[in-house]
Amino acid sequence: MRTGINAGQMQGKNLRSAVSQIQYGRIGRVEDIASAIAFLACDLSDYIVGDTLLVDGGMTTPGTMPIGGRPGPVPPNPIDR
């Protein structure tokens, strides 16, 4: 997540390294978090209860980012079987 605290570190090689670990292909922005909050605050999310919403561009999606930072295959969705 790009913030005022880490802006100086998110440049050049550090930025490329961070982006390589994110499936969405870019560093998160404050607006990404704000959009998730707005969704959770509206009626469209009224049936979402007691869950964790990860707003990380897919960085922590299990099985998609092996050690080394290169994207791997996306595991099959059990619903599609």
Q: Say if 54 falls within a structural domain.
A: yes
Please count the structural domains in the chain.
Answer: 1
User: 60 in helix, strand or coil?
Assistant: coil
Q: Kindly indicate the confidence band of residue 60, based on its pLDDT and cuts at 50, 70 and 90.
A: confident
| Look-up of token digits 């290169």 | 70
% of residues, the chain, pLDDT over 90: 25
In a domain, 67, yes or no: no
Answer yes or no: is 53 within a domain. yes
Read off the pTM. 0.65
Question: Measured at the alpha carbon of residue 76, what is the angle toward residues 74 and 79, in degrees to the nearest 5?
Answer: 135
Would residue 42 count as lying in a domain?
A: yes
Domain that holds residue 41: 1-59
Is residue 24, in this structure, part of any structural domain at all? yes
DSSP 8-state secondary structure symbol assigned to residue 23: T
Instruction: Give the separation between CA 37 and CA 64, rounded to whole angstroms.
Output: 25
* Residue whose token pair is 């499936």: 23
Q: Assess contact for 25 and 64: CB atoms under 8 A.
A: no
Condensed to tens digits (0 to 9), the pLDDT of residues 21-54 reads 888 888 899 899 999 999 999 999 999 998 889 9
